[in-house]
Amino acid sequence: MGADFLPIGRRVAHLRTRRKLSQQMFADRLGKSKSWVDKVERGVRALDRVSTLQEIATVLRIDATALLEQDDAPVDVVERDEGVERIRAALSRYEIPLGRSSPQRPALSIDQVNRTTAHAWTAFQHARYPQVVNLLPDLLVDVERTRAHQPGPGQVPLVDAYRVAAAVLVKLGAPGPAWLAVDRAMNVAANDGVLVASAAVQLGQVLRTSGWAREAKSVTLAAAYRIIPPVIECGLPEQLSLCGALLVQAALAAAHDGDGAAAAELLDEAAGMAERVGDGKDHHRTGFGPTAVELARTASAVELGDSGGAVARHETNIQRDGWRWLPAEHRAAYLIDAARAYLHSDDPINAARLLVDADRLAPAEVRQRPAARAMLADIARAPGAPATIIRLATVLRVRDRQSHPGQHPAR
């Protein structure tokens, strides 16, 4: 059996031997006893802290991931940052107003940019963030050129492209370029109430994750009440979905601002609309429906510090028929919220379970997002954190002293 397939304790022994270190020498460099090293290498004692794995790796002069299985490659966060910079550059070109459009890259048809924009949204909803990041620089240039040649029909795909750019940039912890994208979307949509409302969904997310909760609530409510039907019972599903999604954003902003009464009232109003829409729909890329509203109630409870209430709702939420209809991105973001509730309830075991579930469902939601990585660090640091989380934290090079308490998943 090769060293790459050894249990972790035996792998430590193998690597220690390669470094020509006796157990006593190794123990001295770690500040441990020889007995401790012997128990680790025989598998009697578990390596159950990220910091311990990293200390061992430092002494052995290896990457900590070498202590795990061969197929556990670390995530390169640099690639995420480079992708964000490529999108920022695309948003900063201003080719059309400056007359810099290259004749070698002709404007695409409306059908072409609609298809590419839809593809970007589908990739986003499956939490394939690296794929979205790769698509966006060229897509943003293409939709801007198409709109310059066909101002009327080109308005919709341009707003949609800016929206998906803002959505993925929020996920990747880049509020600055996300703000630029959503501001562009609002300006392009200016005279169309429905387009303004759709862009305002992402605007609410950007404002809330930037710490401007009151502004997020004000903006999303204004956009919602601009399109709300005079009689809810007569509203079309598309209209109610967009209006309801904005009310959910306003409720989350209210919760973030500590206003539980407003959050509950807004979610109740959204629930009434959701019942008329039903689950399994995705009008205007909102995923709005009864289940989405119930998940938002849990997220709101977490924001308000009601971890017990959030935990009580969680198991019911994932048993709902509508749970499986939600996009993978939405479900994984919710699981991270629920994990935060368990962690704040002094239950790191269940917090870890949900984070691992989120990683299986949508790996990029955990591995690419700074907020999720911070949550992983918090759970790995908690006493009694299970080996699965220690393993994941080590693979992702998340240090157990890392913490960003102000960050949270954006839905």
Clarify whether residues 103 and 60 are in a common domain. Answer: no
Residue 287: inside a domain, yes or no? no
Residue 225: inside a domain, yes or no? no
For tokens 């399109």, name the residue.
227
pLDDT of 219 strictly over 70: yes
Helices and strands per DSSP (H, E), number in the chain: 20, 0
pLDDT of 2 strictly over 60: no
In this prediction, residues 74-83 reach a mean pLDDT of 65
Specify the number of domains making up the chain: 3
| pLDDT bucket at 144, cuts 50 / 70 / 90 | very high
Clarify whether residues 106 and 143 are in a common domain. Answer: yes
Residue 250: inside a domain, yes or no? no
**Position 122, amino acid:** T
Clarify whether residues 63 and 98 are in a common domain. Answer: no
109, HSE (Cβ side, Cα atoms, 13 Å): 3
Higher pLDDT, 266 or 38: 266
Clarify whether residues 127 and 62 are in a common domain. Answer: no
Residue 89: inside a domain, yes or no? yes
pLDDT of 313 strictly over 90: yes
**Position 140, amino acid:** L
User: What are the tokens at 375?
Assistant: 């949550």
Clarify whether residues 103 and 168 are in a common domain. Answer: yes
- 268-289 pLDDT per residue, tens: 999 999 999 999 999 999 999 9
pLDDT of 76 strictly over 70: no
67 Cα distance to chain centroid: 28
Helix (H, G, I), strand (E, B) or coil at 210: coil
Clarify whether residues 89 and 181 are in a common domain. Answer: yes
Q: What pTM value is reported for the model? A: 0.80
DSSP string, 48-80: --HHHHHHHHHHHTS-GGGGS-TT-PPP-HHHH
- pLDDT on residue 68: 63
| pLDDT bucket at 6, cuts 50 / 70 / 90 | low
Residue 33: inside a domain, yes or no? yes
Q: Which domain range does residue 135 map to?
A: 75-191
For tokens 């509508």, name the residue.
322
pLDDT of 78 strictly over 60: no
CA–CA distance from 362 to each of 175, 287, 292 (Å)? 22, 17, 18
Return the ∠ at Cα 178 (arms to 175 and 181), rounded to 5°. Answer: 155
DSSP string, 371-384: HHHHHHHHHHHSTT
Clarify whether residues 56 and 79 are in a common domain. Answer: no
Residue 309: inside a domain, yes or no? no
Clarify whether residues 385 and 406 are in a common domain. Answer: yes
Clarify whether residues 55 and 161 are in a common domain. Answer: no
**Position 209, amino acid:** T
User: What are the tokens at 138?
Assistant: 């060229």
- pLDDT on residue 119: 96
Residue 210: inside a domain, yes or no? no
358: CB partners within 8 A, 6+ apart = 331, 332, 335, 336, 339, 365, 366, 372
- 87-141 pLDDT per residue, tens: 999 998 877 776 666 666 678 899 999 999 999 999 999 999 999 999 999 999 9
For residue 97, give the DSSP letter. Answer: T
- Rounded CA gap, 213 and 229, in Å? 26
User: What are the tokens at 187?
Assistant: 């300006």
Closest by CA to 374, choosing from 410, 338, 402, 336, is 402
Return the ∠ at Cα 293 (arms to 268 and 119), rounded to 5°. Answer: 145
Clarify whether residues 11 and 116 are in a common domain. Answer: no
- Rounded CA gap, 224 and 135, in Å? 30
Q: Highest mean pLDDT range out of 38-42, 88-92, 319-323, 344-348? A: 319-323
CA–CA distance from 300 to each of 32, 133, 202, 228, 263 (Å)? 45, 29, 18, 23, 7
- Rounded CA gap, 29 and 31, in Å? 6
216, HSE (Cβ side, Cα atoms, 13 Å): 30
Higher pLDDT, 286 or 383: 286
